[in-house]
Amino acid sequence: MENLRDIPFFASLSPKVLERVAEMMECHVFPPFSTLCRRGEPGRYFYAIASGGVTVNLLSGAKRYQIFLGPGQVFGEMSLLADIPVTATVRTVKETRVYRLSKQAFRQLLDSEPEVYRALIEMLVHRLRHRSNLAEVETGPTCCCVVIAQPLPHQKLFLQTLAKTVAYYNPGSILVDFVLPPSESDNAAWKPRPDAFFPAMAGAEVFTDTNHCFTVSGASIEWKRHLLQRWKRDGGVNQVLILAISGEDYLSFAENLSERDAVLAVTDAVPSLEHDLAPKKTGHHGGFAQVILTDGLSEKGASSNQSWHFHITAADLQQDREMQSNGYLSNAPHSVDWLARWITRREVGLSLSAGAARGFAHLGVLEVLEQAKIPVDCLSGTSMGGIVALVYAMTGSAGQSIELIREMLGGNKKIRDLALYPRGSLYVGSKVARAAYEVFGDKQISQLKKPCAVIAADLVRGQRVVIHTGPAVEAALATSAIPGLFPVLERNGQLLTDGALMSRIPLDVLEGHRCGVRLAVNVIPSPETREMEAEKTLKWLKEKASHFMGLRFIIAFSWELQAWTHGAHEAEIADILIEPDTHIYSGYNFDRFDEMVEAGRRAAEAKLPLIETTVSTLLNPGVP
């Protein structure tokens, strides 16, 4: 019975109901390439996969699709519910253990156990929602070009580990290495292998050591183009063709890549923003990332002309690289797993809204996500959300971020330094600037542990500015320079002020990170909340406005009204929106640090079941 609880569909059932389900279940082990059900035949069973995996072969018009389902996933329910023929042929790809319910038992449970019925409805709704999102983009096979300009340490081990990890998430994916073909000293497992998939063109020899790692020698550029075309035509849903190629070869057929394809530039030196393979130089506008592959740990450089990059070391590659036969996460080294999730669009992105002191609530959200082991792979933010995003990207720890920001901004006395003769701002801004330098020092955004982008507004050109390179301290000061309250920041011929003028929840910035799930946090109270507190708010605002410098409260409330309207519109593209219940009077009260952090915790905990289910689905191998 406990094994059944490991399967998400059954996890929410009470012990009594789960025991009844277990009594009605049959457990079977099928060898590789067994057919469990065939398209057009009557449905007989509801299946739950305990270990192994199956391919679901679908036919849509004249096109065939292949989807992989792995441990924890279920299938077969639609034909039993609607009493219609099976719509897809399902075969095992390796030895597979399944639990199954007969049609009669399945219907009996639905009729007599509301918990099972509710679990089925929730699964169908979640599956429909996920596939509606998939319908917005193509889901056919893709290509990832791993461009290696010169021999690198542990190059072959890196490619094999990456290929195994990508194939774990998107089964059926393969690596074809054109850079370093097998030599006599290679393991005897590498053998010549003619394969029906590879183009039948003279001069090329194909070798393999596993079902997903191939190496090719003597292939012309036409052969490589033909391979890519054949993959795009015949590959399965979301399967990835990883091509290890030289820079010269890549440039010769970059035009054949689509926006869904990815490019990795692998080197042993710190990459530059002006990389020869960057999209603006090659014309390819799909995913582009840079990877440093080194022998040991080395601190990222400190040039403002660097882009954020993955860093993989020999120590990473020496870890156990075997994939788990059960469970839902790859057992590859963390850095390689992260890179594979970037390639397969399985990153989790988080966007944090503007909100002044209310933005402390972002820290509580991060703490809950971290405790639940929800990965946060990339961040974006505006104003206080931008500061929190930068600090978390630097530390990689919610606890450390809370303490740093408490020390930096957690109190009115820590930020307020009224100017004797105000010019461009009411506050001098020296307290905030000093605190920012103490936190970030001379760190560049490219040195942070996670990629991060924050928003500022350029008063000179009237443009939104996305800051994802350069000194982290400048980014923090620019994104949070509330107009009229804090000084603007001059940078590269721009006068930068609070990014909330242009973008309150910059979710669109995450598009370049190939996120599979986008989380957003909006800390600004909604109009509904304000309506409930209207009488109190009127009295409180009139009283505050009658005092010296009371204009700051009028400015603050006006600013927040605009912030909620714009933020609500931007948040529409979020997969999950978290809205902490921040007190309506606390927007500019920095003394209420702990209260705001706790509000973030409560809001994240309320959404945590949905977040966990969504992320678990994202990280499961194959597709839901």
Q: Is 420 helix (H, G, I), strand (E, B) or coil?
A: coil
Convert the pLDDT of each residue in 199-234 to its tens digit.
Answer: 666 567 777 766 678 888 888 888 888 888 888 887
Convert the pLDDT of each residue in 499-552 to its tens digit.
Answer: 888 888 999 998 778 899 999 999 987 666 666 666 776 776 777 677 776 666
Q: Residue 22: is its pLDDT beyond 60?
A: yes
Model confidence band, residue 466 (pLDDT cutoffs 50, 70, 90): very high
Q: Which residues pair with 518 in a beta bridge?
A: 349
Q: Token pair of 178, please?
A: 């054109």
Convert the pLDDT of each residue in 557-598 to its tens digit.
Answer: 666 666 555 656 777 888 999 999 887 656 778 888 999 999
In sequence order, the 6+-apart residues with CB closer than 8 A to the CB of 460 are 493, 494, 495
Encode 64-95: b = buried (16+ Cβ within 10 Å), e = exposed.
eebbbbbbbbbbbbebbbeeeebebbbbbbee
Convert the pLDDT of each residue in 160-214 to its tens digit.
Answer: 899 989 988 888 889 999 987 666 555 545 555 555 567 666 567 777 766 678 8
- DSSP states of 478-523: HHT--TTTS--EEETTEEEEEGGGT-SS-GGGGGGGTEEEEEEE--
Contact 260, 284 (CB under 8 A): no
Q: How many CB atoms lie within 10 A of CB 2?
A: 7
Rounded to an integer, what distance in angstroms lies between the CA atom of residue 22 and that of residue 559? 57
- Residue 568, sorted as left (phi over 0), alpha (psi -120 to 50) or beta, turns out to be alpha
What are phi and psi for residue 460, nearest 5 degrees?
A: -70, -50
Sign of CA dihedral 457, 462, 463, 465: negative
pLDDT value of position 328? 36
Q: Could you give the domains of the chain?
A: 4-137 (2.60.120.10), 142-344 (3.40.50), 347-618 (3.40.1090.10)
Q: What is the pTM of this model?
A: 0.80
Average pLDDT score, the chain: 82
pLDDT value of position 326? 34
